[in-house]
Structure 1
Amino acid sequence: MELFGVSIWLFILILFLVVEGLSSALISIWFCFGSLAAWICSIFTDSIGIQITVFFLVSIVTLIFTRPIIKKLIKSKEETRTNCSLLIGESGVVTEDIDNIRGLGAVKIKGNVWTARSSNDENITKDTIVIIERIEGVKLIIRKKEEDKLCQ
């Protein structure tokens, strides 16, 4: 066991951990595992060739087998819908006539009144049931639902 070899792998491990800690993405986590394996290997052998081989093999194997799992976890977190995006596809009621040219219109959905615009620039009258297609800024972009008027 050569103290220099053990120390250098420990230093490299700490360096990769610091880099990983400072980054907001998984950049060097794979090399942390490789460094850890090479550090353990350096305790048992003085051969730098074996240590470097262990470092690269463990890093590559870790990358190949864990990256797809990590990507799925990260992707599933990114697809989390916000409260606003939950409105898309929902029905609402026009509370103020919608006129895109004059910049007027409002829709009530789930108890909240939103500024709204028609997706096809048609004027939509009060009490019409509409579907939210998308959100642009703080405006709902809507279209008429098949049933024309709210039953009273």
Structure 2
Amino acid sequence: MYEIFWLAAFGVLLLIEILTLGLTTVWFAVGALAAFLLALVNMPLYVQVVAFIVVSVIMLVFTRPVMTRYLNKTTTKTNAESLVGHRARVLIPVNNLKSEGQVMVNGMEWTARSTKDEVTFRKDEMVRIAGIAGVKLMVEKEKEEEESL
């Protein structure tokens, strides 16, 4: 009876993976397949469950990073994500303590905050976009070698 359960779990998990293509359930499908094989040789249920968990976790931990690196090579950053690393010009002085700051990047104005509360930026100063927090750009001082270019 357990063989049918594990085979059904394998099928459902694999179907979900095929439909989503998100590399989320394939690891558990492999774990269900391992448990199914153990059920075929009449191993106790607790051995099947432990095998399911162990195989799933091992697959997830050791193969997911490799797979996502190779499968997501062609993924391009979209919208705000693509701004990280770009230069921006300060329009309104950036001061976290006063909750103010605005920068211009690619012809668009963005609310900005410094990555460090004690660091402020003056109007027309050039900064580097370090990240995004909500709808605000997190900016930092440009590296010295970039400033000399």
State TM-score, norm by structure 1. 0.54
Aligned-residue offset at 1:75: 5.3
Q: Where does the alignment leave 5 or more consecutive residues of structure 2 unmatched?
A: 18-23, 43-47
Matched, 1:29 2:20: no
Q: Give 1 or 2 for the bigger CA radius of gyration.
A: 1
Matched with 1:130 is 127
Q: Deviations over 1:57-90 (max 9, x none)?
A: xx99xx6xx9455552135568967433432222
Q: 1:12 to 1:143 in 2, by over 3 A?
A: closer
Matched with 1:118 is 114
Matched with 1:44 is none
Q: 1:12 to 1:128 in 2, by over 3 A?
A: closer
CA distance in 2, matches of 1:32, 1:126: 61
Aligned-residue offset at 1:15: 4.4
Matched, 1:98 2:94: yes
Secondary structure in structure 2 of the residue aligned to 1:28: helix
Q: In the alignment, residue 134 of structure 1 is paired with which amino acid?
A: G
Q: Deviations over 1:84-105 (max 9, x none)?
A: 3432222111112223232221
CA distance in 1, matches of 2:41, 2:134: 53
Aligned-residue offset at 1:106: 0.7
Asked whether the equivalents of residues 90 and 131 of structure 1 are also in contact (C-alpha less than 8 Å), the reply is yes
Asked whether the equivalents of residues 9 and 32 of structure 2 are also in contact (C-alpha less than 8 Å), the reply is no
Asked whether the equivalents of residues 9 and 29 of structure 2 are also in contact (C-alpha less than 8 Å), the reply is no
Of all paired residues, the percent bearing the same amino acid is 24
Moved more, 13-22 or 101-110: 13-22
State TM-score, norm by structure 2. 0.55
Q: In the alignment, residue 131 of structure 2 is paired with which amino acid?
A: R
Q: 1:9 to 1:111 in 2, by over 3 A?
A: same
Secondary structure in structure 2 of the residue aligned to 1:27: helix
Secondary structure in structure 1 of the residue aligned to 2:97: coil
Secondary structure in structure 1 of the residue aligned to 2:28: coil
Equivalent residues in 2 for 1:14-93, closer than 5 Å: 14-21=8-15, 24-25=24-25, 26-32=27-33, 35=36, 52=41, 67=59, 68-69=62-63, 71-74=65-68, 82-83=77-78, 84-93=80-89
